[in-house]
Structure 1
Amino acid sequence: MAVYGIDLGTTYSCIASIDDVGRPTVLRNLEGTDTTPSVVYFESGDNVVVGATAKDTAVLAPDQVVSLIKRDMGREVTREIHGFDYTPEELSAFILLKLATDARTTTGEEARDVVVTVPAYFGAAERDATRKAGRIAGLNVIDIVSEPIAAAITYGVLNPEQDRTILVYDLGGGTFDTTIIALRGGHIEVVCTDGDHELGGADWDSRLVEYLAERFRAEHPEAGDPLDDKQTEQQLRRDAEDAKKSLTTRTTHTVRVMHDGRAAAIEVTREKLEELTKDLLDRTIEITGRTLSTAAEKGVDDYDDLVLVGGSTKMPVVASRLETELGLSPRLQDPDLAVAKGAALYAFEETYRRLLAAGEQDQAEEMAGRAGLSEEQQRQIAGRQIKTVASHAFGIVVVDRETSAEHVAHLVHANDELPAAKTEDFFTVYDDQTSADIRVMEQAGSVESGELIDNTEIATGAVRIPKGKKAGWPIEVTFSLDSSGLLHVTAVEKETGERLELKVDVGGMSEEEVERSRTALSRVKVS
């Protein structure tokens, strides 16, 4: 059976599979490129275009084009286009469908069983939304895997005999993660992770856009602000991205800005770009330092490699600054494609192990045979373990009996090893209380905090209390966070056995809405 790995990126996405000699290979799209812009153009209500053409059309029809949708995953927001409201899950589903359709055309096989990657710092809501996007696209999402883990799998498979401790610095188009991973005996263990899913190459582009607009206004003050015109703004964004990419190999690049019949040729130097974006790079360094401190608390303070992943790490200043700060020589690890390749390896290995566990030996051997794997490689895959950690803390709202003040008591903490399970007794606050509210909270900020404002409510329910009970009656609460970062919560009143099973349907689409969207999307032509 064919399985695939998908890097669903903020600015670019790609899909990979395992070839007939066991190597992960990125499948080119119908336009002939390895990566597909994560941009969706609605030509009409029933015709959607994804990729390079959509990106080009953004200049001409900005109101009909959606980009950077990954930053909205897990949020209850919609985009109105042609009179229809589209959720982030639905918009992401169009991108996934484009990748799967092109892969089927390339290989001749149905691309249905997939592993999709997400930033390590994505929480429960974003991971849940990503899984639902896959289902809306008609895909069977085998698992959701963190991007640095996928990159580490690629690294580990390429260096199978080496035990290494690596720091993965992943700066993509829209998200940033830094993760410390130990490779031991072929096994992969995440020590800790941190990040910011609203920090990436798109922010470098935005700084350049602002600079270009400012320079144009200074040269043509009578022409008005080019950012007030949507078409001009979209063109500036294209030009800014091109300039940023050019400045990875050149020291100067000239952008021609046109607006309101005026034109300005604006020279941008690499030095100027670095000056405009220094605080953005500073933020990545700060987060990396925080990650190193967390690892040190876990007894890890010596590193063999600093691996750079994500297209934005091609900027020369990234490597030079990290080498200065950390004293490690950075290695570019196939920055654009490593995540998709690792996801494909993970999809293959996970499916192979599941077939063996289910007693489907013949199917597992056929799968291994198609990939040209030796008996030794099969043995390694069957025994490989991947251990990861929680990206956020999770807890419930509790009330101080004396002051009635509310705060969050966390049961699972950021960087706890997964799967994680914690059971704790909580107690009623008042005499004759008839029910206890269970409000499940997820850490919202970069640091764990008991303040409600620093957490996001992701599920709620109530457990009935038997009549006549005094304050202090116990309720047993269990949090179980699986290796994909998906949370399951139960609360039990022990005398009656009253049990609350909280399905953490975190802020996005309901199951019914997912099925309706899947049906509706099947009628839309996606190319």
Structure 2
Amino acid sequence: MIVGIDLGTTNSLVAVWKDDASVLVPNALGELLTPSVVGLDDEGRILVGQAARERLHTHPSLTTALFKRHMGSAHQTALGNHVFRPEELSALVLRSLKEDVERAYGETVVEAVISVPAYFSDAQRKATRIAGELAGLKVDKLINEPTAAALAFGLPQHGKECSFLVFDLGGGTFDVSILELFEGVMEVRASAGDNFLGGEDFDRLLAEAFVRSQADQPGFPAPESIAHALHREAQRLRIALGQVRSDEFVLRVDGQQWQQTFTQADMAALYAPLLERLRNPVERAMRDAKLQIGDLDEILMVGGTTRMPLVRKLAAGLFGRFPSIQLNPDEAVAHGAAIQAALKSRDAALEEVVLTDVCSYTLGIEVSQQHGQHRENGHYLPIIERNTTVPVSRVKTVCSAEEGQAAVKVCIFQGESRLVRDNIPLGELEIPLPPHNKGNVDLDVRFTYDNNGILECQVTIPKTGEQFALVIENNPGVLSPKEIAERLQALAVLKVHPRDQQVNTLLMARLEHLYQESLGERRELIGDWASQFQRALDSQDERIIRQTRTELNERLGQLERGGWH
């Protein structure tokens, strides 16, 4: 069985293709969204999803989130006595989604199409594939998130001709893609984006503004010690201010409380720098696609952060019209990934849909430039430029810098900057030159980039016909095959929290979190409820546990709505 997965910074989803339609699969708690949060419970077992997220504030040393932002790097996170790389944390989320599908359909999931931000680098894409491998999934195909959303939108339009822009602002990344649909072909014309711009950045700015407003208040704790509490309240307030003119940022720690009022006008001023950063990728994509705003038939908003009124207002101003709201911004990418999975498995209902994509970054080599008697090293020579349709093969001819040179080192980079020091190194190839050569030796450097994001560099010396090749499969910070095997073995021995206990763990984590946030009689009441539920669990009587859980969930719902006295 092959599935489509939206592996998100904040939340993840999984979908399958059944009865000629994509279907989202709920997790063990009955929810479609699984928070991309991983932690350890009090017995050292792995927790994934909502139960882990509830413990971010109460058990910060045992819980982590936002690890997608470190994909493709050597960053490590310590949870208790364990140390995890971003690929491993992502693998635990993927494994949980895989088990959700297997539980729902009784089939073994062996393969997945996983979505990635269109602006993910080569290293980040490879790390995502490795995460799938660590989760026990074959991942032959990655799909760019905006392209997946476009598939979810474009499939019902099959047979029509249209051009549309996907504006994808999620929890951690921002992507823009421009696509055309014609005669059963969906072609990506251009992509641009920012891998460090999303809802989390809006929340960080709001939390920092609150800390500045309270810094002089007596007893205010160090921000790093309450980071998760600040983030959670900032996220709540950002969403609330999409509906009301003003609201309170409230922080409760160890029986003390601090608060500050924020208005929609405050938010507009605070978020202005981030909103401005949304403009550049849109303008770059439009330029690269050689299109005018009027050429676009639809503007699609994808990603939960696009629900912010300020973001929708910006989009309306940029495009001179209100964007389409046909798609659920949280679910569109997962639906598109499932469609791509069906295309890959050659489902009969989708035989005529052809999808093309582009290389999101420029790929090139380091060269030197001669200025009179002075030579400058470190310049960038693009060979495959960004937004070139893939698969693609391009060649450029360069020459050795000095007469009689014994060898040339071809250094390969990814990026858009004029100097290679500002781009990302991908690899290098040492080329021995013919002995006793007179004059400079020409070299034909060919880059071939395929649909799966694999780059091959081939260097030919026309004078001798010799060829040298390098396939870029590993990057600094990306696990080697040997390291993958070691990590697989380490993950295999980890104990995972039982799925059938997740509803109980979630409720206890929720009670503990609310207890820490509350004061006075409310705090005492929640403490009594937590004790009541613990006694029910200790009874090991499933009927008593279920009945108590139902009652307490109802009471907590009333309490959070302000209806409990």
TM-score (norm 2): 0.83
Cα distance in 1, alignment partners of residues 240 and 110 from structure 2: 37
The answer to whether structure 1 residue 426 and structure 2 residue 425 are counterparts is no
> Residues 470 and 40 of structure 1: is their aligned pair in 2 closer, same or farther, counting only changes over 3 Å?
farther
Cα distance in 1 between the residues matched to 2:150 and 2:129: 22
Matched-pair contact (CA < 8 Å) for 1:479–1:488? yes
Alignment deviations for residues 168-225 of structure 1 (CA, whole Å, 9 cap, x no partner): 100000000111111112311111111001000001111121122233335xx22134
One-letter amino acid of the structure 2 residue matched with residue 505 of structure 1:
N
1:318 aligns with one of 302, 308, 311: 311
Query: For residue 158 of structure 2, what is the amino acid of its counterpart?
Result: P
Q: Could you list the per-position Cα deviations for residues 151-178 of structure 1 after superposition, in whole angstroms to 9, with x for gaps in the alignment?
A: 0000011222332111110000000011
Residue 236 of structure 1 aligns to a residue in which SS? Answer: helix
Identity rate of aligned residues, in percent? 29
Aligned pairs (5 A) from 1:358-507: 368=347, 377=349, 381-400=350-369, 403-406=374-377, 407-443=379-415, 448-494=416-462, 495=464, 497-507=466-476
The Cα of 1:286 is off from its aligned counterpart by 2.9
> 2 CA distance for matches of 1:112 and 1:403?
58
Question: Alignment length, in residue pairs?
Answer: 491
From the CA coordinates, give the structure whose radius of gyration is larger.
Answer: 2
Paired with 1:301 and 1:460, the residues of 2 have a C-alpha distance of: 44
Task: Specify which of 333, 336, 342 is matched with residue 339 of structure 1.
Answer: 333
1:291 to 280, 285, 291: 285
- Tell me by how many angstroms 1:258 deviates: 2.0
Instruction: Please give the alpha-carbon distance, in whole angstroms, between the structure 2 residues aligned to 1:174 and 1:34.
Output: 19
Alpha-carbon contact 2:363-2:385 (below 8 Å) kept: yes
> Counterparts in 2 of 1:152-163, with a 5 A limit?
152-163=150-161
Deviations 1:384-408 (A, max 9, x none): 2211111110111112355332211
Q: 1:307 aligns with which of 286, 300, 304?
A: 300
User: Equivalent residue of 1:111, what SS?
Assistant: coil
1:271–1:203 distance in 2 versus 1, CA, 3 Å: same
Q: Shift in Å at residue 69 of structure 1?
A: 1.0
Which of 30, 33, 39 is 1:32 aligned to? Answer: 30
Measured on the aligned residues, the alpha-carbon RMSD in Å equals 2.1
Aligned 8 A contact 2:4 2:15 in 1: yes
Verify the 8 A CA contact 2:61 2:80 in the aligned structure 1.
no
2:176 to 175, 178, 182: 178
What is the DSSP-based 3-state SS (H/G/I as helix, E as strand, rest coil) of the residue aligned with 1:526?
Answer: coil
Cα separation, 1, equivalents of 2:87 and 2:438 = 46
One-letter code of the match for 1:338? A
Cα drift, residue 76 of structure 1? 2.5
CA distance in 2, matches of 1:11, 1:408: 36
Q: Which amino acid aligns with 1:161?
A: G
- Whole-angstrom CA distance in 2 between matches of 1:286 and 1:398: 29
Question: SS at the partner of 2:324?
Answer: strand
* Amino acid paired to 1:100: K
Conserved in 1, the CA contact under 8 Å of 2:8 and 2:171?
A: yes
Q: CA deviation at 1:496?
A: 6.2
1:254 Cα offset (Å)? 2.7
Q: State the 1:476 CA deviation.
A: 2.5
Residue 118 of structure 2 corresponds to 120
Equivalent residue for 1:48, pick from 46, 49, 56 = 46
| Alignment counterpart, residue 272 of structure 1, candidates 237, 248, 266 | 266
The separation in 2 between residues aligned to 1:45 and 1:408, in whole angstroms, is 53
Once residues 487 and 344 of structure 2 are traced to their aligned partners in structure 1, the CA distance between those partners, rounded to angstroms, is 28
Query: Once the two structures are superposed, what CA deviation does each residue of 1:359-380 show, in whole Å capped at 9, x if it has no partner?
Result: xxxxxxxxx4xxxx6xxx3xxx
CA contact (8 A) 2:5 2:115 kept: yes
**Which residue is equivalent to 2:503?**
none
The verdict on how the C-alpha distance between 1:496 and 1:159 changes in structure 2, with shifts beyond 3 A counting, is closer
Alignment match of 2:239 (pick from 227, 245, 266): 245
1: CA distance between counterparts of 2:79 and 2:107? 33
Q: Is the 8 A contact 1:118 1:127 kept in 2?
A: yes
Give the aligned partner of residue 365 of structure 1: none
Q: Write the distance in 2 (CA, Å) between the matches of 1:76 and 1:471.
A: 43
Distance 1:190 1:351 in 2: 21
Residues 295 and 301 in structure 1, CA contact (< 8 A), matched pair in contact too: no
Q: Matches of 1:64 and 1:434 in 2, distance apart?
A: 55
Distance 2:496 2:395 in 1: 46
Change (3 A) 1:424 1:324: closer
| 1:46 CA drift (Å) | 6.4
Q: CA deviation at 1:428?
A: 1.6
1:330 aligns with 2:330: no
Q: Note closer, same or farther for the CA distance 1:189–1:45 as it changes in structure 2 (3 Å cut).
A: farther
Give how far 1:292 is off. 1.9
CA distance in 1, matches of 2:231, 2:119: 26
Report the CA distance shift for 1:435/1:301 in structure 2 as closer, same or farther (over 3 A).
farther
Cα-to-partner distance string for 1:415-442 (whole Å, 9 max, x where unaligned): 1111121122322222332222121100
Contact 1:458–1:504 (Cα < 8 Å) also in 2 = no
**Kept after mapping to 2: 8 A contact 1:459/1:504:** no
Q: Give matches, 1:9-158, under 5 Å.
A: 9-19=8-18, 21-43=19-41, 47-158=45-156
Runs of 4+ in 1 over 4 A off after TM superposition: 298-301
Q: Is the contact made by 2:454 and 2:471 (CA closer than 8 Å) also made in structure 1?
A: no
- 2:439 and 2:490 mapped to 1: Cα distance? 51
What CA distance in whole angstroms lies between the structure 2 residues aligned with 1:400 and 1:289? 31
CA contact (8 A) 2:25 2:101 kept: yes
**CA distance in structure 2 between the partners assigned to 1:294 and 1:431 by the alignment:** 40
Query: Within 2, Cα distance between the matches of 1:498 and 1:416?
Result: 25
2: CA distance, partners of 1:158 / 1:94:
34
In 1: Cα distance, 2:434 partner to 2:81 partner: 51
Structure 1 Cα separation of the partners of residues 188 and 243 of structure 2: 33
How big is the shift at 1:498? 4.7
2:484 alignment counterpart = 514
**Structure 2: which amino acid aligns with 1:436?**
V
For structure 1, the 5+ residue unaligned runs are 353-367
Measured against aligned partners, the alpha-carbon deviations of 1:251-284 in whole angstroms (never above 9, x if no partner) come to 3333321246431233333332232112211111
2:259 and 2:209 map into 1 onto residues whose CA distance is 13
Task: Give 3-state SS (helix, strand or coil) of 1:5's partner.
Answer: strand
SS in structure 2 at match of 1:56:
helix
- SS of residue paired to 1:152: helix
- Distance in 2, matches of 1:438 and 1:289, equals 33
Counterparts of 2:146 and 2:167, CA distance in 1: 8
Partners in 2 of 1:266 and 1:22 — Cα distance?
Answer: 51
- 1:114-157 Cα distance to aligned partner (Å, 9 max, x none): 00011111121111111111111110013011000000000011
Give, in whole Å, the separation in 2 of the partners of 1:171 and 1:293: 20
SS of the equivalent of 1:331 reads coil
In structure 1, the partner of 2:223 is 227
Whether contact under 8 Å (2:248, 2:260) holds in the other structure is yes
SS of residue paired to 1:336: coil
Structure 1 residues 425 and 294, CA gap change in structure 2 (3 angstroms)? closer
Aligned-pair CA distance for 1:520:
2.0
Distance (Å, rounded) in 2 between the aligned partners of 1:228 and 1:71: 19
Unaligned runs of 5+ in 2: 498-565
SS at match of 2:97: helix
Task: Decide whether aligned partners of structure 1 residues 323 and 184 sit closer, same or farther in structure 2, where only a CA change above 3 A counts.
Answer: same
Instruction: Report the equivalent of 2:493.
Output: 523
Whole-angstrom CA distance in 1 between matches of 2:383 and 2:344: 29
What is the alpha-carbon distance in structure 1 between the residues aligned to residue 59 and residue 35 of structure 2? 16
Match of 1:357 in 2: none
